[in-house]
Chain A
């Protein structure tokens, strides 16, 4: 009798424990699902309201479905030139920032020099500074030189400035896990420094460089604060949205927002899927 009870004790506890684990597991799962729904909510709102057919200029309440906002995506004055400017600046800024950032990352990881610690902090500084301070300090810098014309070039310089840090951090992460023996092997086989870099180092860090470029591009396209301070009378897409928000943003803004989201998420999803497949094969 007692033996049975003693036997049953631990068994029941483990049953209770597993039930508890099951409940806990589901609580966490349900919670996570709710979290992701919350995360997606504004995105859904943006997408849905891009099909809205607002009677006035306020696109806040649902008032009927229409394709017109998508068909006439550039139907509001200024929006197309704003997008063009944003894309131009993002393209050039991320090319420059990625190139410079890669070199800085190489220097930081490969060489021990006296200002290395200081450089590490300097790279980190723009990341840890509020954007408004970055924008304001650049504005004062440009104001100091009275010949500077605010516009394309000031925006470009500003974007390169804050993109470099992100590029350095991204490429550095890859370089830290880099096997230097590969380079040594190349050198032993008779390659000079340049050839080694071109044939061995570069191909290996290309994914990181590409990632840095994409990161810079998306940050640049999205940036408002720093741009706003240094744009003068030039209008990038975020600045256009800001101006439009004061008088009621047209549904076309939602169209562009949704389009950017769909393009970016498709690219990212493809990347994830390709990686997953590659992992499976490996």
Chain B
């Protein structure tokens, strides 16, 4: 029992230490309570902050709408193919993240198949392009984080007792109403978990914006990355990381209040 405690405290302390350290560093090399870092970060990079939330929000919403029917399909119609279909859902993870995103670069490239088709259908102007636009960035984010949405949805739908749905259909005499009143509310934990798992990494992402977007599509992640690694403006970058983290934690806290931590962390009550 004791050795468990020891091995458990070490990484715990490490983690706590790490989380505290980043907090101290936002005031840089001299500790001067430079709260100005925060204000200037918000003032100067408000568009990037807003854009991060916006792109992540849109991508999360699309991912939810797109993957819900598929999660439903696997949960109730999957039969003995369930495991195979689930494997297909996570298959994109077997290709390195960056390579996946580069593949989208190829797919959405100028004069590529997608762009040509859209131009042919007059949806896109003749000089129009997809790369270096917000659409491409959102598309990339949506694709890359789709499994994070689909899996929790599947897990919660899988737990719904089909007999419950049958009963609801008998009572409401209408499949749509039965779905809205019974199936959807019962799958809500999955919706919430999926939303969090998609939104959080999406808001901090900079790879999609870098590879698929142009300078006008940069998200806060791009700013943090360049401040840290190219401009070595550590205090400002650390302040921005913290604002991003605080925004996301606030988001998580609201969700936690609604569902409870135990459900989020997957512990039985």
Binding site for B on A (CB under 8 A): 24-25, 28-29, 31-32, 35-36, 38-43, 45-46, 49, 59-61, 100, 103-104, 106-107, 111, 113, 115, 117, 119-126, 128-133, 136-141, 143-144, 161, 164, 169, 172-173, 176, 218, 221-222, 224-225, 228-229, 237-238, 241-242, 245, 249, 253-254, 257-258, 260-261, 264-265, 268-269, 272, 275-276
Contacts and interface: CB of A to CB of B under 8 A. Distances in A.
A125 B14 CA distance: 13
Nearest to B26: A140
Interface stretch (B30-38, B159-167, B180-188, B198-206): B198-206
B99 interface: yes
Contact of A126 (B15, B17, B98, B237): B15
14 contacts: A32-B70, A39-B146, A61-B111, A111-B4, A133-B22, A136-B238, A140-B21, A140-B25, A218-B93, A218-B94, A224-B98, A238-B96, A241-B96, A261-B95
Interface of B: 1, 4-5, 7-8, 10-12, 14-19, 21-22, 25, 66-67, 69-70, 72-74, 77, 80, 83-85, 87-89, 91-100, 102-107, 109, 111, 143, 146, 175, 196, 200-201, 203-207, 211, 221, 224-225, 228-229, 234, 237-238, 241-242, 244-245, 248-249, 252, 261, 264-268
A124 B103 contact: no
Overall SS of chain B's interface:
helix
A41 B80 CA distance: 25
A143 B234 contact: yes
- What 9 pairs across the A-B complex have the smallest Cβ distances? A130-B204, A137-B22, A42-B103, A257-B99, A264-B94, A140-B25, A45-B103, A241-B98, A32-B73
Contacts, number: 223
B204 A133 contact: yes
A150 to B, nearest CB: 11
B4 A106 contact: yes
A166 B117 CA distance: 42
Nearest to B206: A132
Contacts of A138: 18
B87 A268 contact: yes
Contact of A222 (B7, B96, B261): B96
B95 A28 contact: no
Given A133-B204, A245-B98, 17 more contacts: A31-B69, A31-B70, A38-B143, A39-B89, A42-B95, A49-B106, A104-B7, A120-B261, A122-B15, A124-B261, A129-B200, A130-B221, A130-B248, A133-B242, A140-B234, A218-B94, A269-B87
Given A120-B265, A129-B248, A241-B96, A272 B237 contact: no
A131 B248 CA distance: 12
B136 to A, nearest CB: 13
Contacts of A122: 12, 15-16
Contacts of A104: 7-8, 11-12
Most central of B11, B83, B104, B206 by chain A CB within 10 Å: B11
Contact of A43 (B72, B103, B211, B265): B103
A106 B267 CA distance: 13
